[in-house]
Amino acid sequence: MPNSTADHQAQELIDFSGVLAELNASFDSGKTRSLAWRRDQLFAVERMMKEREADLFHALHRDLGKSPMEAFTTETSYVSSDAAHCRKHMSRWSRRKRVSTPIVGQPGKSWIQPEALGVVLIIGAWNYPIQLVLAGMNAAIAAGNCVIIKPSELAPASSALLAELIPKYLDPDCIRVVEGGVAETTALLELPFDHILYTGSASVGRIVMAAAAKNLTPVTLELGGKSPCVVMPDANLETTAKRIAWGKFSNAGQICIAPDYILTDAATEARLLPLLAKAVREMFGDDPQQSDSYCRIINQRHFERVSRLLDSGTLAFGGQTDASDRYIAPTVLTNVAPGSAIMQEEIFGPVLPIVRAENLEDAIAHIRSGEKPLAAYLFTNDKTTQEKFLAIISSGNACINDVMMFMAVSELPFGGVGESGMGAYSGRRGFETFSHMKSVMKRGWWPDLNVRYAPYTDKKFRFLRKIR
């Protein structure tokens, strides 16, 4: 949070209460309750991703050095597919769900009826500056809400483009973009939204939650943590190496669900290391800095932070840096001690440490000694090992014999647990996150049994005992 007097005064001058009032008025008008309106907005998102694809690719390259293919698969196509999924299924998600009514409630009918919350604030992160605000927005729209999105100021090209495109494609009476940094975010958090979705660090997540508590605003926090990757000796190591390298070094490691570190035994490590190096060469060539497929660190501060972690172990390969280009090579470290600097924080960069764990029990003990991760990965052919890992390791998401691919399944909820977050969205779960599931009971007029009314006699009591 800002400390200077100037920053504090700047914050005091920012007031988004008028914007919120306008969106509340739009919501109260009933405009967003229409399924037709929701379909129009979601279809507009799909059109925006297609028609302005080149502009979106350019912005993502300016911010993060993303290639068109990576921008397509992880940003524009993801958002478009998510919008289409919500558009096609929201009518079914919106239906009343009948539940049984007991004898004491007869004659009567009972059901659960989804209703929109109101105005939702979505605060995005810089590593996927398009996807992380628009996917949440899709779910909020599908549920019938008005939305304010706050893109990350650390991805300025993407933020500016969203601020330009959203009013052109979506209903400005109901959907707004607010650009800015800490001051703007702080001012937004002062307001009584109906729900807040925040994606980012745990430290800022605590600030968001504390601010929301003042207005009793519910929050969904998508945070991060050190997602472990356990490699057992029986795994197909060539495929394992390719999948880990892809997950770790895509977006230069700046992915909240990237494998943060590997846990394996000494013999498996010796076999895995050359395969990891081979996978990196196949993806990015002998000099990844020259590869059009390799991204850059978002800014100088993060470049310096990740660079300091390179001394946390023995360099197996990589390690090259170029501050002028915000480039850190795909790097693997061995002989990494559990207490080393790189194991004390989420890396969020292209540095992959390997920590020794001589068996599954050692790996589980190491993981359970830390905070619950956003994702947990296990590579093995043994079903008993797989079931034990899933039963004992608590994580927001898990994947067996691959990394991150659960994100491709629209109906799998995405969210953290403990330090890695709370709440979830994606597919139907996203619709439910931004809805209130209202319990409704409708009674008939007759018969109106006198048994529930005072005076409470022994005869009435005996009757109640029989029917309960």
Buried b (16+ CB within 10 A) or exposed e, 125-139: bbbbbbbbbbbbbbb
What pTM, to 2 d.p., does this model score? 0.93
Verify that 375 and 273 share a domain, yes or no: yes
Please choose, from the candidates 331, 291, 334, 325, the residue with its C-alpha nearest in 3D space to the C-alpha of residue 308.
331
Verify that 68 and 187 share a domain, yes or no: yes
Please choose, from the candidates 159, 261, 254, 138, the residue with its C-alpha nearest in 3D space to the C-alpha of residue 200.
254
> What range does the domain containing 92 cover?
5-223+419-440
21 falls within a domain: yes
3-state secondary structure of 231: strand
Q: Say what the pLDDT of residue 196 is.
A: 98
- CATH code of the domain in which 292 resides: 3.40.309.10
Beta bridge partners of 442: 109
Mean confidence (pLDDT) of the chain: 95
Q: How confident is the model at residue 13 (pLDDT cuts 50, 70, 90)?
A: low
Of the listed ranges 39-48, 243-252, 406-415, the least confidently predicted one is 406-415
Number of domains comprising the chain: 2
3-state secondary structure of 424: strand
- CATH code of the domain in which 213 resides: 3.40.605.10
Q: How confident is the model at residue 10 (pLDDT cuts 50, 70, 90)?
A: very low
Tracing tokens 């310096």 back to the chain, one arrives at: 304
Distances in Å between the Cα of 119 and the Cα atoms of 100, 127, 174, 176 are 32, 25, 9, 11
Q: Say what the pLDDT of residue 2 is.
A: 42
What does the pLDDT look like over 265-295, one tens digit per residue?
999 999 999 999 999 999 999 999 999 999 9
Which sequence positions are flagged as catalytic? 222, 256
Q: Say what the pLDDT of residue 4 is.
A: 43
Verify that 129 and 170 share a domain, yes or no: yes
Asked whether 222 and 416 are in contact (CB, 8 A), the reply is: yes
449 falls within a domain: no
445 falls within a domain: no
Verify that 341 and 219 share a domain, yes or no: no
Q: Which residue has the higher pLDDT, 9 or 403?
A: 403
375 falls within a domain: yes
Verify that 352 and 428 share a domain, yes or no: no
Verify that 310 and 204 share a domain, yes or no: no
Buried b (16+ CB within 10 A) or exposed e, 229-240: bbbbeebebeeb
466 falls within a domain: no
Verify that 199 and 77 share a domain, yes or no: yes
Strands 228-231 and 375-379: parallel
Verify that 208 and 232 share a domain, yes or no: no
Please choose, from the candidates 126, 134, 157, the residue with its C-alpha nearest in 3D space to the C-alpha of residue 255.
126
